[in-house]
Amino acid sequence: MLRAAHSLTVAARGISYPSVGPIAELGDSKKTNWDGRTVKPAPFDYVRVENVGEALSALAANPEAQVLAGGQSLIALMNLRLAKPGCLIDINRLSDLDYIHAQGDELAIGALTRHTAAAASPVVAEFCPLMTAAYGFIAHRAVRNRGTVGGNLCHADPSSENPAVAIASGATLVLKSIDGERRVAAEDFFLGLYETAAGQNELLTEIRIPKAPANQGWSFQETSTRKGDFALVGIAATLDCPNGACTDARVVAVGVGERAMRLDAAEAAITGAAIDDASLAATAQAARDSVDPPSDFHADSEFRRDLVFSLTKRALSEAHGRCRKEG
| Range 95-210: architecture per CATH | 2-Layer Sandwich (3.30)
Neighbours of 45 (CB within 10 A): 22
- Give, for all 327 residues of the chain, the pLDDT tens digit: 454 333 332 222 222 223 333 333 344 444 444 355 555 788 889 999 999 999 999 999 998 899 999 988 888 888 888 888 889 999 999 999 999 999 999 999 999 999 999 999 999 999 999 999 999 998 888 888 899 999 999 999 999 999 999 999 999 999 999 999 999 999 999 999 999 999 999 999 999 999 999 889 999 999 999 888 889 999 999 999 887 789 999 999 999 999 999 999 999 999 999 999 999 999 999 999 999 999 999 999 999 999 999 999 999 999 999 986 543
pTM recorded for the entire structure: 0.86
- Cβ atoms of 155 and 73 closer than 8 Å: yes
pLDDT in tens, 116-144: 999 999 999 999 999 999 999 988 888 88
CATH topology for 216-322 is Enolase-like; domain 1 (3.30.390)
pLDDT at 325: 58
CA distances 289 to 9, 106, 207, 292, Å, are 33, 35, 32, 8
DSSP for residue 269: H
Intervals of CATH 3.30.390.50 along the chain:
216-322
Position 43 scores a pLDDT of 86
Residue 29: φ, ψ to 5°: -60, 145
- H/E segment holding residue 45: strand 45-48
Distance CA 229, CA 281 (A): 28
Give CATH 3.30.465.10 domain extents, the chain.
95-210
* pLDDT tens digits for range 205-249: 999 999 999 889 999 999 999 888 889 999 999 999 887 789 999
